[in-house]
Amino acid sequence: MASKPRNRAGMDAEAVARMMAAQDAEETQGPAPEPEPAPVAPAPVPPAPADLQPPAPPVQSAPEPPAFDPGKVDGRTLRRTFREPFATRIKPEAHEALRRIAYHRRITIAEALEMAVAAFEKG
């Protein structure tokens, strides 16, 4: 009986295993030692003149806005409409009419459908 042919996924898993083993070997060697910084001599302090006035209090600037965190806000978050997903099959003519109405009123198809439901319920 012939041996079972190897699939590509098995070969890929072996390649991943080799790559992870190489990364583990690099981590066990540790990072390269960092060179020690050169000693810095303290800067000479100029003598304080006696005829200068005391410094003015620092001007308070506006607080900085919080840093942008791309993990918290994305494009979908900014466009959230709190609508439920709705998938249905309709005739091409009805779809074209919904698209036309939404385009001319500059609203989304979902908003046009919601308006149609409201008008239907209103009677």
Spell out the domain ranges in the chain. Answer: 89-123
Distance, C-alpha 65 to centroid of its chain: 18
Average pLDDT over residues 69-75: 63
Convert the pLDDT of each residue in 44-65 to its tens digit. 776 666 556 666 667 777 667 6
Average pLDDT, the chain: 75
Three-class DSSP category at 92: helix
Residues 112 and 101: beta-carbon distance below 8 Å: yes
Residues 99 and 109: beta-carbon distance below 8 Å: yes
- Please determine, for residue 117, whether its predicted confidence score (pLDDT) is greater than 80: yes
- Please determine, for residue 95, whether its predicted confidence score (pLDDT) is greater than 90: yes
Top pLDDT among 106 and 7 is at 106
The pTM score is 0.37
Top pLDDT among 80 and 104 is at 104
Top pLDDT among 12 and 81 is at 81
Torsion angle, alpha carbons of 105, 109, 112, 118, to 10: -160
Could you tell me what percent of the chain has a pLDDT over 90?
28
Alpha-carbon gap, residue 25 to 19, rounded angstroms:
10
- Please determine, for residue 24, whether its predicted confidence score (pLDDT) is greater than 90: no
